[in-house]
Structure 1
Amino acid sequence: TAQPTPEPTVQPTPEPTPQPEKVETTADVDGTQVKVSADSKVLPDAELKVSSVSDEVKNKADQAVKNKLDPEAEILEILDIKAVDKTTNQEKQPEGGTVSVEMSLNEKYKDNGDIKIVHFDDSKDEVNVVDNAVADKDNKTVSFEASHFSYYAAVKVPKASVSVSGVNLKWDSLKLYPGDSTTLQATVSPENATNKNVLWTSSDDSIVSVDTDGKITAHKEGTATITVTTEDGNHFDTTLIEVKNQEPKAASVSNQTYNDGGSGDGNVIKKLAATVTGTNPDTSIRQAALMNGDVPAWMIPSIIGLFAGGGILIGVIALIKRKRSE
């Protein structure tokens, strides 16, 4: 009797080994902390490596940077970034994407210049600036996206100089008394000018002097011109200072009202000068009497005599009663 043919045993399909979402590595290169990462699809079955470069490569890169970017440019750090295939041990480049690189420069970071990332091609001694690099001076880091592996350097380039276009003083002229002082305000344009240093001068220091901060002090009567001049470009502006001695204070009059007990407007002489002060009592008394209009002009000589003789109160009462009787 024929035996039935056994059914073949179905073998289960093995599950694919899951690939990590990210390929990444960190390294310390001469005190610079470096982190490199990429999507596993960009670098399948690869391992990232970061290392320092030889002195020969560094010197060649430094010369290329100075020739291409700026004679004063300075390499803060240069790295050799690459990926190696885990199976063949051959170097490979990113496929259809980029690799993220972050460099923590710490004390190497210099915020007195622009930080740039450059790619150095040692086969041609050429450097090209990586446009997507972002420098963070607060955290002293710089990050960028690399589309291929090679030598990458963080470079400090001196900031571009911005020339001064002018300077302006707030006041065209000022009037001061001897002993007065104030500070002039100079505005240098443009606002982002590299060198905003200015020089202050006076046309006559004996009348008005000025210090290095623009503080002026008046000394005696006269006029002087204060000039501010920019160190960059010799742009200037001026303020005319007029110093005048203070005028003598006018006579001081205290207003008094006298009422002898009667009624009606005739009983009161208002604003009569009971106290007169000034350098010229004669003029002060005349002016006081004429201004208030309460005393006829013909009485002024009598007032002067009474004031001069010390009989102020008696004289005032006598004048009031005399006016009342008219």
Structure 2
Amino acid sequence: MTLEPDMFPISIDTFFGGRVAHVDLYLLIREKKYIKIVKKGDDYDIKRLRNYENKEVQFVYINTSDIGVHVKNCVQIARTLVRGPVIPTRNKAFVACRAAEAVLDEIYALGLTDEAYNHVQEVCSAIKDLSQELTSLSDIYSELTNVSRKQYRHSIFTSFLSTIMGHALQWTSIRSLNILAIGGLVHDIGFVKLSPEIAEIETSDFTPEQLEEYKSHPEIGYNLIQHAQPQAREIALIVRDHHESPDGNGFPRGLTNGDIYPMARTVNFADQITHLILDKKSPLADRNIREAVKYLKYKERQLFPELYWENLEKWFSKLDS
């Protein structure tokens, strides 16, 4: 038994990490008291952890100091499996979403450290690779229902959609597609500095004070990345401008068309589609992406070039979403 309070919870139903434990695993038996159930370096069966769910145990715990080790292992597994031909796309979607969830956990717990940013880059490379072989978004959508937090579901789906849209718009640069994937995953990183409830409620339910706080997250995220990862200038600009609108009605700066960072417009589009599909109060909640694109075209056609719409509609018509 340990009395160590500095523990980090991971949902049992989404935990994965290979056949050998890279970190010690614990269960909470009462307030601030934990018992070690798996020792680092030991073989273990993931089904054993799943069995605890039948006993109404929701979380397995690791030391906060081990988060980086755990996430590195998750990301390496995801990259290996996504790039290999041996498992179905549905299984690849599972490991990619789980790894992305682990990376977001790391950022929210420890900040955008150098190690965390390396993990962001690696998992987004896997997302980029997987997006190239998708013939349907249903696998991704199904896996998102298992992601623990609303904000994480939104960020992961936005990352996938941003990358898919890069393909649709005929971007061929691997570097550009990776930037879109990263920008999509961390576009709302400013939420780490907001009140926790902001991330879990719908924007339509905000009080005036909450709305004002919400509108600060792009600038907060931009400053966070500029400070923590100054070399990631393009990512910072995506984060800063992803709520700007060509007509000047966006936020936080009210920029117009030529002043908005171009990749931020793509992430903005993916962000809006994600809200339409995933938000419970959206008129298109749980509908497919083709319907969401048509709806957005009807509402905001003038905000994006006609060729943009044509390429997206053509690409998404190929997907059984």
TM-score range, shorter-chain basis? under 0.3
More helix by share: 2
Q: Give the TM-score of the pair, scaled to structure 1.
A: 0.20
Which structure ranks higher in relative contact order (CA pairs < 8 Å, sequence separation ≥ 6)? 2
Q: Give the TM-score of the pair, scaled to structure 2.
A: 0.21
Larger Rg: 1
